[in-house]
Structures are given as structure tokens and as C-alpha cells.
Structure 1
């Protein structure tokens, strides 16, 4: 999406918040209507009083951090409306809640709604979501709808703690709109191993980036799924690579497995442990693709079979995704992202 004026949209935001909640958008792509999410059921409401403190420290993400002396403010609402008028900069929110029911079989998401401008979101000390870019590589994501996948087993049947790091550059700041809560998503593929979360990312192109032992330690970190424009690469068109390390349970070693890569804008080549397992789009070009969107590849779901013997069930694995975006938004932008058994995939697809 090409950026609109932030000040103007902040004036309009209260008017359009209800619309965004109904459609559950991550970002307005201007390419198609945003799908209506009627398959979300709220399990735990998180509106109301949250702990709040100005400033910044990584210690604040920890479950056992002492926030007894913090302020209490309402969520959702800008902090300017609650005694912090004119403050721009870093601040943290924390929320403690208890789970009484067994939610281990649910497909769970934490929805915060709209955060102005940038956030990192932690659940029980684990980073599960990131939108925008913090200084010195600042990039606002005030108009992105925060909807973060909760990894299996992370939510406890006891005390849980959400911690949200926020940076605001100008005007209103904080968790400002939406219906914050823990949601179950119905009738959506729930991978046996989710790969949503933080990935390594680098623009440009070099095929050696597919190699399992390639050193990506100096790459940026991006959240997947989300357009890269929302995370510091505004208006970038061209090649880019994603990489992620993962381990997989031995319990799946006897299953035929499928990689779900969601939707990618525009075309991709996908590798596991250096071996290409899938591709979408026309890659028969010399330097730069010219027919990169002849079949609306940006809205096609990526579903790639994983060859037998390719995964290492005793050690680390690497997935690498080469992406080319030729127009507007780019990247791995919609889930689910993960590995699922072929049997479970076929059962879900036949419903």
C-alpha cells in the first residue's frame, strides 16, 4: 500500500476502526478486497486496564519483571488521552491474565488491533509479533492491524503475561484501537509446526543464500507473515530473501509432510536445506522478471510437498525463500505458515 498522510489518517481512524475490525485487515493492499474474518471467536477479552510505563528496557519483556509501580491505563486508547499528552518515544505495556480452560487444541491468535507507531509483542517472554521499524531504522506501522499467531504450547493454563514494546514518533501513541483479545480461529489450517514469527531477511539477490550453511547473522529480522513495506522497506520493489532455522519433532518422521507458505507477493522459489521444493511464478528470465504477475501469483496459496529424507529430525533445518516483487507491496504477507502432515492437510481441505 502506498502511504497516506499519517496526520490525516489519524483523524479518520476512529471512524474507520469498526470497518477494519470486521475485515480483519493486516494491510490495505489496494489489490483486492480485504477478506472478512467471520471465523474468529474471542476466548479471552483483553480490553481494560493494562500496566504502563514510559521508557525502554529489554527486561520489561520478561514474565517475572516487577511492574508493581507502573501506571494503569486503558487499552485501547492513546496514551495522550490518559495523562501523557505530547509524549513521543518508547513505552511498554504489560497485561497479566489467567487461562482456566484447556486451549491446547485451539488455533490461537493474539489480536491487539492498531498500535501507533511500532511494536514488538511478547507472550510469556517470547517474541511473537513485530510491526514497523524502531529507530534508527524507523518506519511507522500505525495503520497495520496486529494479529499475531500464538505458537503451540506457549499459552499456559495458569498465569500468562503479555508485554508490548511501543515506539511513537508523533501525534497519538500506544495501543489505540480494536478489540484486543485471545482469539480462536476456526476452519483455518493449523500446522503441526508453525513457522510464523521472526525470520531473517535481506534485500537483493544471490542464489548462495539458499545454502543450508550460509551465514545470515548480519541480516535484518522481519515478522512473517506481513508485507516488508510495513517493516522498514517502504516502496521497495525487487528481489529479497527470507531464511528461518527450525527443528521438527521426531514424531513426524514417519509422516508425509507439506510446507504451507501462505501467500507471497509476487513470486517465489522455496528451499529446504538447500534443495528447491517449490516455485510459483515465471522464473525464466535473464536478470529481472517481466511476467511476474500474469496469473495473479500474489494471491495464490503456496502449498509445497516436502520430499522424503530431506528434513533432519535430529538437528536444525533451514528454509530459504527467494522472492521477487514487481509492484507495490511485497513479501510473505498472509498465513498460515508452517509444516503440516499430508493426511491432516487433505482432511482439512475436504471439509
Structure 2
């Protein structure tokens, strides 16, 4: 029995090491952001712009709390700015570690993400590891890029306090046959006709997908619709296909050419009747596409009804696109989180 308990402890330790190692295999750093940043206390939206002259700003080391870098006792707003270069704009994310307390992040003047809420509706995000997708259209591969970070600290230590800061390439992206990342039509509110193939969305605004709608200046909770027109080559007519919509906050119903092909959670017409279990926003949406529901070599319409109950909303994280069923199963098996089954081990110990 003692030998079996020792084996269980060894297996648990091995599992823990494997789990800890997985994130390291998922990312490749392409630019190191650790080191000296331009820094200034106060708050001004012009400081997000790439052409702003920050040459008179102070220099500060990050990651480190700003109290240890010459600003002891300071609570309030401050901005960080830095330049970086990349050779490719695909599959890139910025890792900023933990920021105390609230942040908004801009790449070349475009806001790409935030964590926490600024006053007057203050909510801290001090213990959240910041990882933000950088939309390809935000980046320049032929010259320097600018990153600007707006920070608010309510108490104790403040700033970019710890973490492996950098621009990282995500290595586990699936092999899509059709990427659907980019600008989609978007409208707040709820209208069941938005699901129809011939619905006129020409007057709708455009939003980048994947990216939360709050990061694109929609400070909104409730119903909204996304729509996208796309074509798919008949080369894939004999393939089993899957639609990947990444992660959506909170609930969704997804329609292809007017037919619902999948949903996560239950969206009811009365928001008071909607129940959010709590983890829907973390689930990767993968919906099978029936061959009768998709058109080849002509226009398709994808419509996504979303309900957001609190804070961040919308299609906020990829992958976004169409993949063959075989490739999807390989990707899911290799990269998707799977629970570790201790039951069989405990059976072994009996």
C-alpha cells in the first residue's frame, strides 16, 4: 500500500510539472519588452497616439512596481510607452504580466484590450495575468511600433509589477482552411431577423473579430449581433467542416445562411430570464457545419447573436475560421485542456 501511495504522489507531481510546462511550449517570444519604458504620471488620451512626443518623459524599469522606481506612495493614473519591432503580424500577442490595478493597452493608437475598470466604476484586476491578442491590422512590419499602457493604481504597489513582458507568437494555432478574422458587421440590440440570409446590414458599424466590443468603444452589456459575408472554395466540398468562433462573452447563438448551427448557453428574449452558469465565456466555440448548410464558391452569411451579462462582451478571443474536422480533432487533442482522470489511479490503489 505504501508503494502505491508513493506512486500516486509521484504521478501527481509529474502531472503538475506537465501542466506547468504546457504554457512554455505554447509561446515563442519575438520581442522582449522587459527593460526601460517611458513613463509619466497623470492622464491624457493623447498619450496613446503613436506620433506623441514622449522624449521629455522619465524612464522607468518594468516589470517593477513604480514605488521601487522612484515614485513611492503614488496612487492614481500613469502611462507607459515603448517601441518594438516585428517581422510578421500573424498570431501575435502582448504579454504584460500582472498590472496593479487597472489597464488599457494601445498598439499604434488602437486599443486592443483592458483589464479591470477605471473610476468611477473602479474594479481592480491586480492579480490577472495580461495577455492580449494584437490584431494584424494594428501592426507595422516595415517600421517601429508603439505600445502605450494607461494604468490606474488605487493603493499599495502600482504599475507593471511582474511577469515576462514581451511580444509573443502563439504556436498552437489550428490549421484553418478559411480565416474569418477581421472586420465584421456589428449592431447592439436584438432582432431575430438579423439571422436571415438576406437581412440588410449595410448600415451597421464594423468591429474587429476577435476583440471585445468594450475594447472598441462599446461600453455595453446586453444583446448584440455580428454578421459576416464570406466565400469558401468548392475544393472543400467533400470535407467535413467545423466553424471555430473562439471564445465569446457570455452566450451565443450562431447561424449559417439563416440556420442555427450551434449555441452555447441559452439566450432568452427577456434578459431577466437569462441564466449564465459562469464558465461559458471560457469555452471555445466549435460548431459542426452540415454540407447542406454551406454554399461553395458563392456568398455565405454568418450571423452570431450574443448576450453579455457583465464587463467584457463579444467575440473576444480566437481562433476564428473554418477548419476540417480531422484537423480540428488533432488540434483539440493536442492543445485543448483535458481534465486529469484520478479515478483510475484511485481504483488502482484499492
1:308 equivalent among 291, 294, 307: 294
Question: Is 2:173 the counterpart of 1:188?
Answer: yes
Greater shift in the superposed pair: 337-346 or 83-92: 337-346
Structure 2 vs 1, CA of residues 321 and 59 (structure 1 numbering), >3 Å: closer, same or farther?
A: same
Does the aligned pair in 2 maintain the 1:269–1:322 contact within 8 Å?
Answer: no
Pick from 126, 142, 164: which aligns with 1:142?
126
Distance in 1 (alpha carbons) for counterparts of 2:273 and 2:281: 17
Q: Determine helix, strand or coil for the equivalent of 1:80.
A: helix
RMSD over aligned Cα atoms: 4.8
Q: Answer yes or no: is 1:173 the counterpart of 2:158.
A: yes
1:59 aligns with 2:46: yes
Shift of 1:42: 1.3
Conserved 8 A contact 2:255-2:302:
no
Does residue 93 (structure 1) correspond to residue 93 (structure 2)? The answer is no
Question: CA separation in 2, counterparts of 1:173 and 1:141?
Answer: 12
Native 8 Å contact 2:211 2:317 kept in 1: no
Matched, 1:280 2:264: yes
Match of 2:305 in 1: 320
Cα shift readout 1:248-274 (whole Å, capped 9, x = no counterpart) = 6x7x57687854233457754235797
CA distance in 1, matches of 2:234, 2:330: 20
Aligned counterpart for 1:114 among listed residues 74, 79, 98 = 98
Given candidates 66, 76, 79, the residue that maps to 2:63 is 76
TM-score by length of 1: 0.63
Q: 1:158 to 1:340 in 2, by over 3 A?
A: farther
SS at match of 1:59: helix
How far apart, CA to CA, are the structure 1 residues paired with 2:211 and 2:92? 17
Residue 209 and residue 284 in structure 1: after superposition, are their counterparts in 2 closer, same or farther (change >3 A)?
Answer: closer
Moved more, 48-57 or 182-191: 182-191
* 2:252–2:304 CA contact under 8 A, matched in 1: no
Distance 2:213 2:82 in 1: 24
1:148 deviates by 0.8
1:262 counterpart residue number: 246
CA contact (8 A) 1:168 1:174 kept: yes
Report the counterpart of residue 340 of structure 1 in structure 2: 322
Q: 1:181-215: CA deviations, max 9, x gaps?
A: 01111123376233699x9888xxx5659667799
Q: Deviations over 1:1-59 (max 9, x none)?
A: xxxxxxxxxxxxxxxxxx9xx969xxxxxxxxxx7453112121110000111122222
Residue 146 to residue 196, structure 1, CA distance change in 2 (3 Å): farther
Structure 1 residues 180 and 196 mapped into 2: Cα distance closer, same or farther (>3 Å)? farther
1:128 aligns with 2:112: yes
Counterparts of 2:39 and 2:46, CA distance in 1:
14
For normalisation by structure 2, the TM-score amounts to: 0.64
Matches within 5 A, 1:25-44: 36=23, 38-44=25-31
CA 1:70/1:323 → structure 2, altered by over 3 Å: closer, same or farther?
closer
Q: How many residues align?
A: 293
Measure the CA separation in 2 of the matches of 1:71 and 1:291. Answer: 46
1:241 counterpart = 2:223: yes
Unmatched 5+ stretches in structure 2: 1-15, 335-350
